Structure 1
Amino acid sequence: MSQSLQAAAQRLERWIKEDAIPLWLERGIDTETGVNIERLDVTGAVDREADIRVRVQARQAFFFAQAYDRGWCPQGKDVAQKMLQFVQQHAAHPTAGGGYTHLMNPHYEVIDSKQDLYDHAFFLLANAWSYRAFGDAAALAEADRLIAHLDKKFGAANGGWLEGDYAYACRRQNPHMHLFEAFLALYDATGNAKYLARTAELFALFQTRFFDESNGLLFEFFNDDWTRLADARGSWVEPGHMMEWVWLLDWYSRRSGRPVQAYLDALYARGLAIGQAPSGLLYDVVAENGDVVDTGKRCWGITELIKASLVQIRSGHPQAEAIAIKAVDDLFTYYLSASTAGSYVDRRGADDEVIVDVAPASTLYHLIVVAVELLDHCEGRVQAR
């Protein structure tokens, strides 16, 4: 392992510990309610007019639980638990018999009560980490209640779960990917094989529906029977998600023993081939033929490229370490370059210019995961397959 990769890991650790955590503790949390704000504006000030996605509380609870677990944020336990308690008291669905609502206004009043599968994946993840980091048995019980609720209300006869309790245009792989992550986290937190069995269900969906083996691509949007949409969206590919699946499949393989290297190699190679801009950033959306559908480049995409590259370093990929090192440098150059230390740029455009300069709180989920993965890789703490 090169000193350059170790230096990159230490640089990102310092940013999380010395810049991000102090900023978001100071400005990101309403001291009266414990609610995490939605975003900071370009000046680093709280955007007081922004509505607040309920799932942001789950993602930030995860962020502070993991920061606490690493010893980076002693206040993390109190912060995370207060966020989840607020949601349970003020944003639980009033009539569904379980689960959460979707959106609050700036006064923390629910203004959209729909239940969304993607949202609930993050509440499973947050509760997994509340149990893992704090030993909070109530959080594990809540995770089990949420799983039962999803099964009862949104379980689909042809695999996976429905998108929610609203009229949706298509089924998405994205919430299922995050459920895969949440069940892996629950298994790591408890060692209970029932959660690993759930990951096997989602792995089967990946194998049979999401992944196109003939082209090495991951598709996003489907009909109810999991056939790809007939319109243009059926051919859309998100390179960042391809990289995210590399990381998740490796994690799954290390827990289950299932061989996944062929998937990792295909997703990584094709993601780089059709998804990478000349600068090295990842496009948000491309078509299966390689045409760029959306020239935007979100911050989270580069974090997933780093995580996938770490997996491929361990698999012996000859260029993966250089790709990871450059990607960390690009993360700082293009995204962790806001005028306020600890804030960030959310999105770059066709010429890598800034097109979204606010800092959504939800991005911290991606940033802390990549920091932890880098450090664990450099310190040899990743369990071998």
Structure 2
Amino acid sequence: MKLINMEIPQTLHKRIESCADHVFQGLIPNWVNHGFTETGYSLESLTLDWQPNPVGRVRLLTQCRQLYSLSHATKLGVISGYDAQISKLFNAIIELYFVDDRWIFSRNDDMNILDTQSDAYALAFVMLSFSHYFMLTQDERALTFIERTDQFLDQKMRHPNGGFYEAFPLNEQTVRRQNPHMHLLEGFVAAFEATQAEKYAARIIEICSLAEKYFVDPKTYTLREFFNADLSLDAKTGHLVEPGHHFEWVWLLHQTYRITGRKQDLELAKQLWQVATKYGMSANGGIANSIDGNTFQVVDADKRIWPITEYLKACCVVKLDEQERCDRLEDALEFLLTYYFIDRGRWIEYLDANNQSKGFPLPGTTGYHIFLGLAEVLKWRDS
């Protein structure tokens, strides 16, 4: 954290405030005003003019990320006045997506059931959002669904080779990913914070151990994305590395350390940080979508917005000289303000390698990344 005697530069203060205003006075209010239906659920996507942008599906994932962001931001006190919307959204999630005693993946634009799979990635966000909803409201129904979701994962989706299947019904042929496990880790951290139940601490240790043993290549300290059933690297895609996920794990491993006290988590976080900052940062600013974990060469030089928000989170927790931390935060916030954030809380979802917009609409899932990135910077500033 910050050194007691160090003043945060005024330019950094201003950039923090500008970004916070963009998110808490622009992005969130506009999404609530334009992105929610009378029924209470969120649309999947909006145009850059805040108009509905039907894409053929409305996912459980999107609803949970919206519930998480509104609940956590309200609990932190950075937004207010959304209690009724939060309650309607929570109720809509249960009514629309909990079908036949399990969570379904999506409905279509007419809100008829589309995909009945129970997706591990989405279940992670049920755990995360319902935990934060409970911490805000003390609504005991959230605890019931957290418990039922955990039981479903434990009883129906455990993989014999470690970790969890991608989805239920189970498919043995599906390429396995680290990404759902990373978000399950995030969900279990939140569930532990909400309940203090030791079983969630055990789940946390289990997933951190998977990362150490399988997800992170021991020669290059790169976090790999795609695996075979036995968690050996997938032949076609096992070389791919996403620097944004490195930064996401860096932040998460600092959260798990507070719960488990496992020093190896901090050491792994340090290694992941060093690789991503050395090979994933673009010379003209921002963070590349993907690199080759064997050669460290850039594979996809385009730049989604979410990796730089994960970089902000990592910057706030990793052990750094405080001047370097301030410099990194200031540069990243300036890049957000210059290339990603546009007026009325809107953002550019996708830049090309030359920092030009690729013209994407606004996904309902991205606000989660932007909110938490800024929330962590505010937490660091105020600590």
User: Is the pair's TM-score, using the shorter chain for normalization, greater than 0.5?
Assistant: yes
Does the aligned pair in 2 maintain the 1:240–1:284 contact within 8 Å?
Answer: yes
Query: How far did 1:229 drift?
Result: 1.0
Residues 35 and 326 of structure 1, relative CA distance in 2, 3 Å threshold? same
Matches of 1:336 and 1:240 in 2, distance apart? Answer: 19
Q: Deviations over 1:255-311 (max 9, x none)?
A: 221113322221112102221111221111111112222222110010011111112
Q: 1:106 aligns with which of 95, 106, 109?
A: 109
Query: How far did 1:49 drift?
Result: 5.2
Structure 1 residues 152-171: aligned runs within 5 Å? 152-165=155-168, 167=171, 169-171=174-176
Q: 1:5 aligns with which of 12, 15, 37?
A: 12
Matches of 1:11 and 1:78 in 2, distance apart? Answer: 28
Structure 1 letter corresponding to 2:231: W
Structure 1 residues 71-82: aligned runs within 5 Å? 71-82=77-88
Query: How far did 1:347 drift?
Result: 0.6
Instruction: Indicate the SS of the match to 2:311.
Output: helix
Instruction: Indicate the SS of the match to 1:319.
Output: helix
Structure 1 letter corresponding to 2:244: G
Matches of 2:55 and 2:123 in 1, distance apart? Answer: 25
Structure 1 letter corresponding to 2:71: A
Does the aligned pair in 1 maintain the 2:247–2:273 contact within 8 Å?
Answer: yes
Does the aligned pair in 1 maintain the 2:257–2:266 contact within 8 Å?
Answer: no
Does the aligned pair in 1 maintain the 2:216–2:223 contact within 8 Å?
Answer: yes
Matches of 1:8 and 1:116 in 2, distance apart? Answer: 38
Structure 1 residues 36-55: aligned runs within 5 Å? 36-48=42-54, 50-55=56-61
Residues 1:217 and 2:225 aligned together: no
Matches of 1:206 and 1:7 in 2, distance apart? Answer: 38
What is the percentage of aligned positions where both structures have the same residue? 29
Number of aligned positions between the proteins? 372
Aligned to 2:248: 244
Does the aligned pair in 2 maintain the 1:239–1:283 contact within 8 Å?
Answer: yes
Aligned to 1:175: 180
Does the aligned pair in 2 maintain the 1:104–1:110 contact within 8 Å?
Answer: yes
Aligned to 1:253: 257
Instruction: Indicate the SS of the match to 2:291.
Output: strand
| Consecutive unaligned residues in structure 2, runs of 5 or more | 1-5
- Greater shift, 251-260 or 115-124, is seen at 251-260
- Greater shift, 68-77 or 133-142, is seen at 68-77
Q: Deviations over 1:92-116 (max 9, x none)?
A: 233xx32x11122222222111221
- Greater shift, 352-361 or 58-67, is seen at 352-361
Matches of 2:278 and 2:130 in 1, distance apart? Answer: 37
Query: How far did 1:80 drift?
Result: 2.4
Cα RMSD after superposing both structures: 1.7
Instruction: Indicate the SS of the match to 1:212.
Output: coil
Does the aligned pair in 2 maintain the 1:228–1:234 contact within 8 Å?
Answer: yes
Does the aligned pair in 1 maintain the 2:212–2:268 contact within 8 Å?
Answer: no
Matches of 2:359 and 2:202 in 1, distance apart? Answer: 40
Does the aligned pair in 2 maintain the 1:309–1:320 contact within 8 Å?
Answer: yes
Matches of 2:185 and 2:273 in 1, distance apart? Answer: 19
Aligned to 2:288: 283
Query: How far did 1:317 drift?
Result: 6.8
| Consecutive unaligned residues in structure 1, runs of 5 or more | 381-385
Does the aligned pair in 2 maintain the 1:246–1:267 contact within 8 Å?
Answer: yes
Matches of 1:236 and 1:274 in 2, distance apart? Answer: 13
Aligned to 1:383: none
Structure 1 residues 302-317: aligned runs within 5 Å? 302-312=308-318, 314-316=319-321
Instruction: Indicate the SS of the match to 1:362.
Output: coil
Residues 257 and 73 of structure 1, relative CA distance in 2, 3 Å threshold? same
- Greater shift, 353-362 or 7-16, is seen at 7-16
Residues 1:25 and 2:32 aligned together: yes
Matches of 1:58 and 1:130 in 2, distance apart? Answer: 10
Q: Deviations over 1:142-186 (max 9, x none)?
A: 001000011111111221110012545311000100011111111
Matches of 1:235 and 1:318 in 2, distance apart? Answer: 34
TM-score normalised by structure 1 residue count: 0.92
Aligned to 1:271: 276
TM-score normalised by structure 2 residue count: 0.92
